[in-house]
């Protein structure tokens, strides 16, 4: 096997390891950290059903972002939606052995690449041209968009331009990563340029702002039910303050009614 194949296979497992361990660590940390107070943000959900509804609106429609800024919403929403569609489009490559019929029908999802690049370029343009957003952007914020754009462009070149890699070798390589039956990369270098940055993204996921994806589910502002008066909400560390049941504040003379 070629050196570059070995390197990429190795790099994939390192990335996957960082992703799984890092993300597990973060998820456990988020889960274990108590939320001592009820802080849902308006429009608050008065019951659990309301919380689910709120998450539906936030996750699938980016409702808060829509309220905030229509351009950012348009770019951000197209980008994320396209990302999900393209994930399904790529399953066919990773699927080991016999591929379910439904995955062959995802062919047309490849056109999601256009909203993907549209969204990414829009987000980048906002970051560059809107003074407020330029102010809050660190180098990593630009870099991350550029990496995604690079992945999108190489992917589009392989799909829509005349840079098609050997599809059978792609399939063997990708599914081999899942089944540990490693095989050679296709010869076309553009494929390497496509997957190397993807592995990078996988690796930095738990170390970067990409944590907004799991983070949104742990935001007490979103996930709490607004029922503080009806049900006592108490964290472990706060309940320890009540070990002494008496209130030792000064006393007072009071008149009877």
Partner 1 sequence: MSTDNQIKLPTYVETPSIRKDSMAGDGPFKASVEIQNKLGFPGEKVENWQQVAINKMAETKSKYKSVQVFLDSCMKCGACTDKCHYFLGTADPKNMPVARQDLFRSVYRRHFTFAGKYFPRLVGAKDFDEDMLNDWYNYFHQCSQCRRCAVFCPSGIDTAEISMAAREVMNVIGVGQKYTNQILGKVKKIGNNLGMPEPALKDTLMDLEEEIKEDTGVDVKLPIDIKNSEILMVSPSADFFAEPHIDGLIGYAKVFHESGVSWTLSSYASEAANFGMFIGNYDVMREGALRIRKAALDLNVKRVIIGECGHAWRVAYSFWNTLSGIGTGAEDEYAMRLQNQLDSQYPQPQHMIEFTYDLIKNNKLTFEKSNNDHRVVTFHDSCNVARGSNMGDIENGQFILPREVIKAACNNFIDMPKNTIKSSTFCCGGGAGLLTDDLIDLRIKGAKPRMHALRKSEQESGVNTLAAICAICKSQFSKVLPNYDFDPYMVVSVHQLVSDAIVLSESLKQKD
DSSP per position, 148-182 = HHHHHHHHHHHHHSS----HHHHHHHHHHHHHT--
The smaller minimum CB distance to partner 1, of residues 92 and 144, is found at 144
220: Cβ contacts below 8 Å, ≥ 6 apart:
35, 38, 39, 40
Query: How far apart are CB 141 and partner 1 at their closest, in Å?
Result: 5
Phi first, then psi, for residue 19 (nearest 5°) are: -60, -50
Distances in Å between the Cα of 151 and the Cα atoms of 5, 9, 116, 120, 125 are 19, 18, 11, 11, 18
* Distance in angstroms (rounded) separating the CA atoms of residues 153 and 202: 18
Residues from 233 through 252 that contact partner 1 (CB under 8 A): 233-235, 237-239, 241-242, 245, 247, 249, 251-252
Q: Among 5, 166, 183, 208, which residue sits at the site for partner 1 (rule: CB under 8 A)?
A: 208
Q: Among 11, 36, 164, 200, which residue sits at the site for partner 1 (rule: CB under 8 A)?
A: 36
Residues from 135 through 154 that contact partner 1 (CB under 8 A): 135-141, 143
Q: Does 42 bind partner 1 (CB under 8 A)?
A: yes
Q: Among 5, 44, 106, 183, which residue sits at the site for partner 1 (rule: CB under 8 A)?
A: 44
Q: Among 124, 133, 157, 190, which residue sits at the site for partner 1 (rule: CB under 8 A)?
A: 133
Q: How far apart are the first and last CA of the chain?
A: 93
Q: Among 24, 29, 159, 179, which residue sits at the site for partner 1 (rule: CB under 8 A)?
A: 29
Q: Does 98 bind partner 1 (CB under 8 A)?
A: no
Quick one: 195 exposed, middle or buried, by C-beta within 10 A (0-12, 13-18, 19+)? buried
Q: Does 121 bind partner 1 (CB under 8 A)?
A: no
Q: Does 218 bind partner 1 (CB under 8 A)?
A: yes
Among the listed ranges 95-103, 112-120, 189-197, 224-232, the one in contact with partner 1 (CB under 8 A) is: 224-232
């Amino acid at each position: 096997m070629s050196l570059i194949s070995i390197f990429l296979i190795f790099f994939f497992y390192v990335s996957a390891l960082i992703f799984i361990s890092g993300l597990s660590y973060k998820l456990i940390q988020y889960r274990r950290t108590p939320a001592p107070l009820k802080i849902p943000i308006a429009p608050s959900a008065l019951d659990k059903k309301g919380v689910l509804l709120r998450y539906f609106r936030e996750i699938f429609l980016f409702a808060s972002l829509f309220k905030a800024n229509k351009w950012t919403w348009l770019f951000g929403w197209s980008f994320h939606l396209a990302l999900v569609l393209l994930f399904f489009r790529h399953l066919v490559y990773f699927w080991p052995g016999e591929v379910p019929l439904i995955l062959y029908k995802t062919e047309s999802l490849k056109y999601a690449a256009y909203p993907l690049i549209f969204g990414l370029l829009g987000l980048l343009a906002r970051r560059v041209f809107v003074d407020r957003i330029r102010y809050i952007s660190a180098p990593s914020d630009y870099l991350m968009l550029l990496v995604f754009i690079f992945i999108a462009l190489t992917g589009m070149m392989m799909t829509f331009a005349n840079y098609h890699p050997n599809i059978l070798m792609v399939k063997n390589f990708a599914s081999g990563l899942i089944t540990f039956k490693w095989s050679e990369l296709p010869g076309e270098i553009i494929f390497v340029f496509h997957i190397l940055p993807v592995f990078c993204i996988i690796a930095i996921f738990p170390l970067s702002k990409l944590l907004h994806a799991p983070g949104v589910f742990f935001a007490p502002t979103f996930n709490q039910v607004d029922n503080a008066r009806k049900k006592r909400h108490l964290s472990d560390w706060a309940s320890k303050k009540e070990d002494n049941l008496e209130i030792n504040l000064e006393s007072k003379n009071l008149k009877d009614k």
